[in-house]
């Protein structure tokens, strides 16, 4: 599993054909120098982790409709101090979908993204520096939503645009999936 040091190395060595990810690398590396980069207390932005979970045939992905953000997203969330970002992604996956039996595709993260989270109540607008891991669900379980979601579903990869509209980061992960 990755810790801060191995994450820094993996990001530095990450090769991507996508310009936006290439631009994100430097910002991730800068963020990792902050002691509290895995904590919400770093109010400008902090590390999050998410899970791009596919069925064994790679034809569907598990997404949830997030209540607060009112958008379809992959399961994921705050590290809350845990530097083991793959573990964070797996924990969030189980909490948000009920899926527990998965295996990692590849040997590292699958995607990186930086996105803005709007201000809410006492939390100012900030950025999530998201480390994304791709998994295959060994047995695509009956999905279970939690209180943070309106719905959770297996979405056909070829119908993804109907759910995420122009979310370029999700569409980038779709494009990567089609290359498997």
Q: Is the pLDDT of residue 153 over 80?
A: yes
The tally of CA atoms less than 13 A away on the side-chain side of residue 131 is 34
Note whether 79 and 90 are within 8 A (CB): no
Confidence band of 140 (pLDDT split at 50, 70, 90): low
pLDDT at 141: 65
CATH number of the domain enclosing 55: 3.90.79.10
Counting the structural domains of the chain, the total is: 1
Q: Is the pLDDT of residue 58 over 90?
A: yes
pLDDT at 43: 87
CA angle 114, 84, 173 (to 5 degrees): 40
pLDDT at 2: 77
Domain hosting residue 142, numbered range = 4-178
Note whether 46 and 71 are within 8 A (CB): no
pLDDT digits (tens, 9 = 90+) for 81-137: 999 999 999 999 999 998 999 999 998 999 999 998 888 888 888 899 999 999 999
Q: Is the pLDDT of residue 26 over 80?
A: yes
3-state secondary structure of 79: coil
Q: What average pLDDT does this structure show over 62-76?
A: 86
Q: What average pLDDT does this structure show over 24-46?
A: 94
Note whether 4 and 83 are within 8 A (CB): yes
């Amino acid at each position: 599993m990755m810790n801060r040091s191995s994450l820094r190395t993996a990001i530095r060595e990450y090769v991507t054909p996508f310009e936006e990810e290439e631009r994100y690398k430097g910002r991730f590396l800068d963020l990792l120098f902050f002691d509290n980069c895995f904590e919400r207390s770093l109010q400008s932005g902090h590390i999050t982790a998410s899970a791009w979970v596919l069925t064994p045939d790679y034809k569907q992905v598990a997404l949830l409709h997030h209540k607060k953000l009112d958008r379809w997203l992959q399961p994921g969330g705050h590290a809350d101090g845990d530097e083991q970002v793959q573990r964070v992604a797996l924990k969030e996956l189980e909490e948000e979908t009920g899926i527990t039996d998965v295996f990692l595709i590849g040997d590292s993260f699958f995607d990186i993204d930086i996105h803005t989270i709007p201000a809410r109540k006492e939390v100012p607008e900030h950025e999530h520096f998201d480390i994304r891991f791709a998994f295959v669900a060994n047995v695509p379980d009956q999905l279970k939503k939690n209180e943070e979601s309106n719905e959770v579903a297996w979405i056909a990869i070829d119908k993804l645009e109907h759910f995420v509209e122009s979310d370029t980061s999700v569409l980038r992960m779709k494009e990567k999936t089609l290359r498997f």
